[in-house]
Amino acid sequence: MAFENVPLREYFCLRDRESFSIDPWRDSKVYFGDQQLAERITRRIESDFVQPRGVPKFFITGSFGSGKTHTLAHIQFQLTTKFGEMYPTEPIYLDIAPLTSRERYERIHGRLMDAIGLNRARLAVESVADAMSEVDKVEGFLQSGVLPFGDEALRSSQANVFRNLLFGGRQMQLSWEWMRGRKTTVDEAQMLGTQKHLAEPQDFVNCLLNLGALHVKGTGKRIVFLVDEAEAIRRVTNPDSQAELIHAVRILLENTNSFIGFVFAIQAEAGMEDIGEFFEAPDIMRRVDFAQGYIDLNGLVLRVEDVEDFIRQTLAYLVDQRKAEGIIAAESLDTSADLFPFTNDGLKSISTHISDNPSRALPAAIISWMSNAAIEAWRRRLDLDRHQLVEESIVEETIFPEG
């Protein structure tokens, strides 16, 4: 039993992990799936930077397991590498769920602010303040171009709030809470120098966009929110709440907002026709160039050849194929390094089963079946003096365990 104490990682020459698995964030530099889709996403990001939008604003749609979170992670990688020098951004991931049927936009605003965080905001404020020649920081913020949104009362209030972030202590904390939407008392408002609360959806949006403008001024980077589980917005059914949300999102997607980007990932089992009325609203679709602003991940690995390409791509990433080649030669195994640990018939079997079952033709399902079959092959190592490959019979057994 030469392989009795050999872990799966070593047995199948995995590079840097203990199992056949893909982590959306750890493995974000590689896009697993249709490379034409990856190129479309790259082109969309680039075109948004050079069009009046000024910053990425579009939607990712797909069913559960289609790779929405991995796509967001890959977009983050692209923004910080490929586009990082020419179009500097600060990508921020957040899961927007859960939302209730009567959720107001104020709750979403609070989550966006929390994702930015007090420390990131304070550092941007300090950078802008350090470059000011004015002694009066409030006047400096008002004149520096970092408050382009909102009425005079909002802009003046937010200029005082930005100044307060420089002081620390209670003033800083209350100022941050004001930007999150907290209603201050009369005494607190006097201490902060604020003239109004954030009350209407447009106030919340303008406050956020002013913070985005300040962040660009202070750091040179535009914030891009990568919003996962955006289908939670469909759960908001109260008419007043819906009106608030669509009004706020419409403003955020306007070309006048070139400071903060949004990439929304929406679960939609049946593709575009299943994204919901909110995301299909004409004034939302128009702001992202209609269908051009919706990238559907469903149906990308339906054909046998699509599945095989996906599996080969995944194996090339996970397996040290030079080590595998040595094992194949030493043991005269009936496979090749680009397929290891699968045999050709094992690969074709899993590809055929997945393409015949469209509901499982998803990246998450493919990797799950690959992993289960590989584990079963590894379990049989005790009875052999050479590597057990993932053959057709093992694939069939793991796909249909009760067969």
User: Read out DSSP for 260-328?
Assistant: EEEEEEEE-TTGGGGS-HHHH-HHHHGGGTGGGGEEE-TTSS-SHHHHHHHHHHHHHHHB-HHHHHHHH
Beta bridge mates, 390: 342
CATH number of residue 94's parent domain? 3.40.50.300
**52 lies in the same domain as 85:** yes
Please check whether residue 394 lies inside any domain of the structure. Answer: yes
Structural domain of 138:
35-296
Domain end point (choices 296, 321, 355): 296
**382 lies in the same domain as 282:** no
**228 lies in the same domain as 163:** yes
**282 lies in the same domain as 347:** no
Please check whether residue 14 lies inside any domain of the structure. Answer: yes
What amino acid is encoded at 395 in this protein?
V
**76 lies in the same domain as 221:** yes
The pLDDT of residue 402 is 57
Please check whether residue 233 lies inside any domain of the structure. Answer: yes
243 three-class SS: helix
Residue 145 backbone dihedrals phi, psi, to 5 degrees: 85, 10
Please check whether residue 192 lies inside any domain of the structure. Answer: yes
Q: What is the rounded distance in angstroms from the CA atom of residue 146 to the CA atom of residue 367? A: 47
The first and second tokens of residue 197, run together, are: 């609360």
**190 lies in the same domain as 291:** yes
Q: DSSP label at 55? A: S
**241 lies in the same domain as 197:** yes
Q: What is the rounded distance in angstroms from the CA atom of residue 94 to the CA atom of residue 116? A: 10
Q: What is the rounded distance in angstroms from the CA atom of residue 245 to the CA atom of residue 189? A: 27
Q: What is the DSSP string of 117-180?
A: -HHHHHHHHHHHHHT---S-HHHHHHHTTS--SS-HHHHHHHHHHHHHTTT-HHHHHHHHHHHH
What amino acid is encoded at 99 in this protein?
L
**310 lies in the same domain as 288:** no
Please check whether residue 29 lies inside any domain of the structure. Answer: no
Per-residue pLDDT of the chain (403 residues; tens, 9 = 90+): 689 999 999 999 999 999 999 999 999 999 987 888 999 999 999 999 999 999 999 999 999 999 999 999 999 999 999 999 999 999 999 999 999 999 999 999 999 999 999 999 999 999 999 999 877 999 999 999 999 999 999 999 999 999 999 999 999 999 999 999 999 999 999 999 999 999 999 999 999 999 999 999 999 999 999 999 999 999 999 999 999 999 999 999 999 999 999 999 999 987 777 899 999 999 999 999 999 999 999 866 767 788 899 999 999 999 999 999 999 999 999 999 999 999 999 999 999 988 888 777 889 989 999 999 999 999 999 989 999 999 999 999 998 775 4
Residue 315, classified by CB atoms within 10 Å of its CB into exposed (0-12), middle (13-18) or buried (19+), is buried
Q: What is the rounded distance in angstroms from the CA atom of residue 397 to the CA atom of residue 402? A: 8
Domain end point (choices 272, 296, 320): 296
Residue carrying the six token digits 């070593």: 10
Q: DSSP label at 41? A: H
Q: What is the rounded distance in angstroms from the CA atom of residue 391 to the CA atom of residue 18? A: 21
Please check whether residue 157 lies inside any domain of the structure. Answer: yes
**274 lies in the same domain as 349:** no
Domain end point (choices 249, 278, 296): 296
CA-based diameter of the chain, in Å? 82
Please check whether residue 26 lies inside any domain of the structure. Answer: no
**290 lies in the same domain as 355:** no
Instruction: Count the domains in the chain.
Output: 2
Beta bridge mates, 240: none
The first and second tokens of residue 382, run together, are: 């005790």
Of residues 256, 215, 355, the one with CA closest to residue 55: 256
**254 lies in the same domain as 386:** no
Please check whether residue 219 lies inside any domain of the structure. Answer: yes
**16 lies in the same domain as 51:** no
Strand order in the sheet with 57-62: 89-95, 222-228, 260-267, 57-62, 294-296
